[in-house]
Amino acid sequence: MNFAYETLVVGPMGNNVYILVDLDSRTCVIIDPGFMPQAQLDYIKEKGWDLRQVWVTHGHFDHTAGVKGISEAFEPPLPIAIHPESFNWARENPSARQFGVRVDDVPRVDIALRHGIWLGIDQKSDQKIVEVRDVSGHNPGSVMFYCPHLEIAVVGDAIFKEGIGRTDFAGSDHNLLLKNIREQIYSLPEETVLLPGHGEPTTVAYEKRNNPFIRG
């Protein structure tokens, strides 16, 4: 297995978009395509990669703004993987209205994410390399994508370097977020690199020692 990942920082809120790629087959998935979807598509095309799926950690508009545009740039549209709770919340889109932003809705759920399932870069492949874990609290149905082979976890807005996701939004639950950080993130191997939705990477070990909001 020869996997890698790339990070693109896009839009006015500095969103991290992650691309997980199989360098042997040159197939890839994109995670949380926020604003500037065409720039993301152009980057993937320049790399000569074959985009197969769109994965979403949670339903906040800055993480979903490019989902429809990227999926429907292909025929047939690329499969969209999102937790049904996040999908339903995103359809209401209260955070976008709060910030006065208009974005495309996530059009559908093709792959219903749930805790404990495993995903492959190619939906039809038997090679499953990413575990889905529930990290709800910042947003209903929030998930993270853990790839043991690369020792990374794409955590959305659940946790940041020395920080956690905001819990003052509609549908947030502070105590649930802390519980899921302890049980689902802090239970990963300490060398695991945590790739957040905004800001720089961190590690499980670093957050256990330094995150002021939650200790292991």
Task: Residue 148: count other Cβ atoms within 10 Å of its Cβ.
Answer: 13
Instruction: With beta carbons less than 8 A apart as the criterion, state whether 204 and 186 touch.
Output: yes
What is the average per-residue pLDDT within 89-113? 80
Q: Where are any strands of DSSP class E within 36-127?
A: 50-55, 80-82, 111-112, 118-119
Residue 43 confidence (pLDDT) above 90: yes
Residue 132 confidence (pLDDT) above 60: yes
Q: Please state whether beta strands 27-31 and 50-55 pair in parallel, antiparallel, or not at all (unpaired).
A: parallel
Give all domains of the chain, ordered by start, each with its CATH number.
3-210 (3.60.15.10)
Question: What is the band of 65 on the pLDDT scale with cuts at 50, 70, 90?
Answer: very high
In order of 60, 105, 133, the CA distances from 170 in angstroms are: 11, 18, 22
What is the average per-residue pLDDT within 118-141? 94
Rama region for 83: left / alpha / beta (φ>0; ψ in -120 to 50; rest): beta
Consecutive H or E run containing 90:
helix 84-92
- The separation between the first and the last C-alpha atoms of the chain, rounded to the nearest angstrom, is 32
Which string of b and e fits 43-74 if b means at least 16 CB within 10 Å?
bbeeeebebbbbbbbbbbbbbbbbbbbbbeee
- Alpha-carbon span 206 to 182, nearest angstrom: 14
Q: Give the percent of the chain with pLDDT over 70.
A: 95
pLDDT tens profile 174-205? 999 999 999 999 999 999 999 999 999 999 99
Pairwise pLDDT comparison (94 vs 26), residue with the higher score: 26
pLDDT at residue number 125: 81
Residue 93 confidence (pLDDT) above 70: no
**Sign of the CA dihedral 90, 93, 96, 98?**
negative
pLDDT at residue number 98: 60
Q: What are phi and psi of 123, to 5 degrees?
A: -55, -30
Task: Residue 189: count other Cβ atoms within 10 Å of its Cβ.
Answer: 12
- Alpha-carbon span 202 to 152, nearest angstrom: 10
What is the average per-residue pLDDT within 80-97? 83
Residue 216 confidence (pLDDT) above 60: no
- Alpha-carbon span 28 to 4, nearest angstrom: 9
What is the average per-residue pLDDT within 19-40? 97
Instruction: With beta carbons less than 8 A apart as the criterion, state whether 150 and 202 touch.
Output: no
In the structure, how many helices (H) and strands (E) does the chain have? 7, 14
Residue 96 confidence (pLDDT) above 70: no
What is the average per-residue pLDDT within 132-152? 97
